């Protein structure tokens, strides 16, 4: 656009009106690329080769580690930006959802015995219980708790 308008107006007036630096316009007109652009191009090629070698599963943190191990000096934010600009995405695996409850049974649902009942007035009047599991390296540990509804203390 500036090249067309430069025939009628001075570059100084155009750069002030369009709020761009004159030096940037002249650099663009020469068509030279900066050293940073060249370095980014090389880094993108390396990202592309690592992405292909790892079957597209690496995201920016692992990609950054891989590039640093290969001897490239790069920041994780730069790798993330270049991956985003060039459409490289890591594989996000869907976490397996553990189901411990069988909702597809034909048994009746237990009634809520506390519905419609007034709040407890003294300790040890109403207890409630729940059970959950905690995954560990050896397997699942089950945790059961009994709570006094009046004091909200775990009693068992």
CA distance 65 to 56: 15
Residues 6+ apart with CB under 8 A from 79: 43, 47, 60, 63, 64, 67
3-state secondary structure of 141: strand
Per-residue pLDDT of the chain (156 residues; tens, 9 = 90+): 677 777 788 888 888 888 888 888 787 788 777 788 889 999 999 999 999 998 889 999 999 999 999 999 999 999 999 999 999 998 877 777 766 677 788 888 888 888 888 999 999 999 999 998 888 888 889 999 999 999 999 998
The model scores a pTM over 0.75:
no
CA distance 42 to 78: 13
Inter-residue long-range contacts of 11-15, CB under 8 Å, 24+ positions, other chains counted: none
């Amino acid at each position: 656009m500036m090249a067309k308008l430069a025939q009628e107006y001075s570059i100084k007036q155009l750069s002030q009106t369009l709020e761009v630096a004159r030096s940037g316009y002249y650099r663009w007109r020469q068509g030279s690329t900066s050293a940073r652009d060249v370095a980014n191009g090389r880094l993108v090629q390396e990202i592309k080769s690592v992405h292909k070698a790892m079957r597209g599963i690496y995201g920016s943190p692992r990609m950054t580690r891989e590039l640093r191990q290969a001897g490239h000096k790069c920041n994780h934010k730069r790798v993330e930006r270049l991956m985003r600009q060039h459409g490289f995405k890591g594989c996000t695996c869907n976490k397996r959802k553990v189901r411990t409850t069988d909702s597809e049974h034909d048994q009746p649902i237990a009634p809520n015995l506390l519905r419609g009942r007034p709040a407890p007035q003294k300790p040890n009047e109403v207890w409630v219980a729940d059970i959950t599991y905690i995954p560990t390296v050896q397997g699942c540990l089950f945790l059961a708790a009994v709570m006094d509804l009046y004091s909200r203390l775990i009693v068992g």
